[in-house]
Amino acid sequence: MPEENWAAHGGVQACDLCHSRKVKCDRQDPCANCVAAKSECLRNRHKRTSRPKVRTEEKIQALVSRLSTLEDSVRSTHRSPSITAETAINNTSSTVEPSASPERPLKRKRTESLANGRAAAVAPPSEPDPTQQSATEARSLISRELSTNGLLSPDQRLVLEKAISFVDHLSHAPVPTITDRSTFDRTMYGSTPLSRGEILHVILGTGVRQDHSSAIDINSLDHIPPKAVEKIGLALMEGTADDRTLSLYKVIIHFKAAVVLYASHLEGSKSAGVQSHIKQMEFVHMSAALTALDSVSFLTPPSLLLVQALITGGMMMQIIGNPASCWELIAHASRTIVALGYHNIVDPEPRSELDDEIHAVVAWCAQFDSVMSLLLLRPRSLPPLNVPASSLMKPDPANPMCVFEILSMELVPVYDKILDLTLELNAKRSIPSLRDEVAWLRSKMSDIFRLMERERPTHLLDSNQVVLLHWRGLEFKYYSTLASVHRLSPSVTTVPAEREECLRSARTALECVLFIETIGRKLGHFIEGYDPYLAWTMLSYPLCPFFVVFCNVVGTSNAQDFQLLQDVTDGISELVSENKFVNRLHRLCSTLLELCKPLIQTPAIHGRASAPTVSIRPVNSNTIPTEADSQQMMVSDANGNVDDFLNSSWQDDRMWQLFQSQPSLDWFNADILDPAWGDFGLAR
């Protein structure tokens, strides 16, 4: 509270003399300092002028009407008597209190739910629901600041308040029934017998080629080495395996058959008729592999073959767009690796073919475990390794496709540190400690960037769209991760240069997504309904880039950023249908865009200075902030236009809290959003 307002609340402000001298006043009349100075003790200072409102009442009313209509449609369409939190949400006022929670305590409600046989099926009752935990944390973080800061204009405040209301709605929403290809069930079973010729084709297709000068081989670097695939294929042809082992063999061989067919797309253009049959056979083998995986018993003893089959299943779940099931299978594989003691590798140099197989599954499992745990904000299942995951994979200098996975594995330590810092936000880590962690992450990212530039297949990027597509996917992973690193900095919203680096990384990541969407549609490599390129990018990494740019649109009304978000959202809707996770991602992005659309339709006037913006860096830029640049960020605001920056609502503490909220598909259950939410009767 400003000192000038103390009198209205029963307090006494410091006298003018003490205030001007910056000394402590005893607040008596007269005070001791004025008596000693033989001066008149006066309190005639003028009150500070309040900031003018920069938004119009029409925009505020439009936002209120828009969100109220959406909330009404949610309550009328998806009303559920078992969800008592709905009553609390209906009574939410414009000022959201941190205590806005269900009428009954969570523990009591959970107990009653168990007694009535309505326990949630997604997690055992003894385990806390990560969705509820993330939503509660985000709600409390943002709500805590709503009553303590007044720097945001009324419409911006309303957007943030409605964002909290959405967290409440999205956290307690029922999931509607939709046609979903990402959830495999018995209706999708496909029992496809493997002929000896098909098995032999898989063995030949996964073998290491001797000449890489004219062909691209995506199989030479895999979680199952070619020698192991050959051994499994020969065992299948000889028919010596028991039923339990046979199911594990089929998971691997059917999946590898689909991969070999996919690789045939990359070797050259095919006619439309041939491509149609290739895609059909891809689907047949994927269905057969998932059918075999579904028959694997949880009582299967731990073995290397079981780990290979589980990681194969995780890959398939990632491809069909089911990150939650991917995480579950990788978690099972991680615990199996621990049971076998494979996580205790101390020498990255393999001494036998068995070591090759072990190193491959450990490296791939570590990557999947880190990526999916960060995506869903869940603890990792695999313990820290004694050696870097990237050191367990041996690159083939003659094969340009090897570099993509090895460089991706270089990011594993960064994923792990980001996840640790994100999950420890409630531990109130000291600011100096957090700065040190972020500095280490930035230094690590700089090293990885230099490695990427050294391994960049420049001679193929201009001539081969497949290599270019995979390279853009790697760049998306890098810049998405870099945006997450910058977001963790405690000064990212107060230091202009640091904030702009975060925005630049987020924008570049989204530009990579646009490129991948465009080229992916053009190549048409995968079966209809599944898109591995979307699965390897937007569905497997946090929504940090989208959320960072969204916050910038709310804070600065940047029309270019809004258009970038709109293009990415439109591209998602065109890629995959009949997938609940893609549907959830698209509807979440659409809802965020609809929230901030009035801020773009009615630009800020009344002399308000816009926050500083920079041009979007090209995706193929060779520049990245070094460690010295990071140090410069910490002091650059002292030499810049501080007055203009202080007018930016990025300086507001509430914006910092929203900016620090980590969104994920596991938190935002956007299934409740009405697909027809655009028909609110508002001007477009």
Tens of pLDDT, residues 165-214: 665 565 555 544 555 556 666 666 667 788 899 999 999 888 766 654 55
Cβ pair 441, 488 in contact under 8 A: yes
> Would you say residue 411 lies in a domain?
no
Residue 344 lies in a domain: yes
Rounded to whole angstroms, the Cα distance separating 238 from 241 reads 8
Tokens representing 620? 């193929």
What is the model's pLDDT at position 608? 39
Asked whether residue 65 is assigned to any structural domain, the reply reads no
CB neighbours (10 Å) of residue 638? 8
Reading the block at residue 571, the tokens are 């591209």
Q: How much is the pLDDT for 120? A: 38
Model confidence at 220: pLDDT above 90: no
pLDDT at 415: 95
Supply the pLDDT for residue 50: 57
Tens of pLDDT, residue by residue over 627-675, are 444 444 433 333 333 334 334 445 555 555 555 555 544 443 333 333 3
Question: At residue 97, does pLDDT exceed 70?
Answer: no
The number of folded domains in the chain is 2
Q: How confident is the model at residue 274 (pLDDT cuts 50, 70, 90)?
A: confident
Q: Which pLDDT score, from 0 to 100, does residue 508 have?
A: 95
| 3-state secondary structure (DSSP) of residue 151 | coil
What pLDDT shows up at residue 386?
94
SS3 184: coil
pLDDT band at 418 (very low <50, low <70, confident <90, very high): very high
- Provide, rounded to the nearest whole percent, the portion of the chain with pLDDT above 90: 27
Q: What is the residue type of 185?
A: D
* pLDDT score at 180: 59
Structure tokens at 538: 């937007």
Provide mean pLDDT across the span 151-178: 58
* In the predicted structure, residue 302 carries a pLDDT above the cut 80: yes
Residue whose structure tokens are 């910058």: 486
Greater confidence (683 vs 341) lies with 341
Q: Which of 78-92, 156-170, 242-256, 565-579 has the highest mean pLDDT?
A: 242-256
Higher pLDDT, 654 or 260: 260
Please name the helix (run of DSSP H) or strand (run of DSSP E) that holds residue 684, with its range, or none. none
Report which of residues 324 and 69 the model is more confident about: 324
The closest alpha carbon to 296, from 329, 334, 263, belongs to: 329
Last residue of a domain, one of 368, 402, 436: 402
Mean pLDDT over 570-598 rounds to 74
Residue 208 is classified by DSSP as: P
Residue 209 DSSP code:
P
**Arithmetic mean of pLDDT, 466-489:** 91
What single string gives the DSSP state of each residue in 399-425?
A: -TTHHHHHHHHHTHHHHHHHHHHHHTG
Last residue of a domain, one of 402, 436, 462: 402
By the 8 A CB rule, do 171 and 135 touch? yes
Is 23 part of a structural domain of the chain?
yes
Note the residue count of the chain: 684
Report whether 130 contacts 666 (CB < 8 A).
Answer: yes
261: in domain: yes
Contacts of residue 526, defined as CB under 8 A and 6 or more positions apart, other chains included, come to: 262, 279, 282, 532
- Give the pLDDT band (50/70/90) at residue 99: very low
Domain-embedded: residue 277: yes
Instruction: Give the list of residues 6+ apart from residue 458 with CB closer than 8 angstroms, or none.
Output: none
Q: Confidence class of residue 583 from pLDDT cuts 50, 70 and 90?
A: confident
- pTM for this structure? 0.70
Position 588 confidence tier, pLDDT thresholds 50, 70, 90: confident
Per the prediction, the chain carries an average pLDDT of: 72
110 pLDDT exceeds 60? no
Q: Which residue range is the domain that position 12 belongs to?
A: 3-37
**Token duo for residue 438:** 């972020």
Range with the largest mean pLDDT of 1-5, 187-191, 254-258, 420-424: 254-258
503 assigned to some structural domain:
no
Q: Which of 130-134, 382-386, 438-442, 597-601 has the lowest mean pLDDT?
A: 130-134
pLDDT of residue 646: 34
For the segment 306-326, the average pLDDT, to the nearest whole number, is: 91
The answer to whether position 593 is within a domain reads no
**Higher pLDDT residue, 674 or 289?**
289
The answer to whether 120 and 669 have CB atoms below 8 angstroms apart is: no
The two tokens of residue 68 are 């109220």
Q: Is the pLDDT of residue 391 over 80?
A: yes
Asked if pLDDT for residue 536 goes beyond 50, the answer is: yes
Cis status of the peptide bond prior to 496, with omega within 30 of 0: no
The tens digit of pLDDT for each residue in 347-388 reads 999 989 999 999 999 999 999 999 999 988 899 999 999 999
Say how far apart CA 144 and CA 429 lie, in whole Å: 18
| Weakest mean pLDDT among 24-38, 211-225, 441-455, 638-652 | 638-652
What is the number of other CB atoms lying within 10 angstroms of the CB of residue 257?
A: 25
DSSP 463: T
CA 519 from chain centre, in angstroms, equals 22
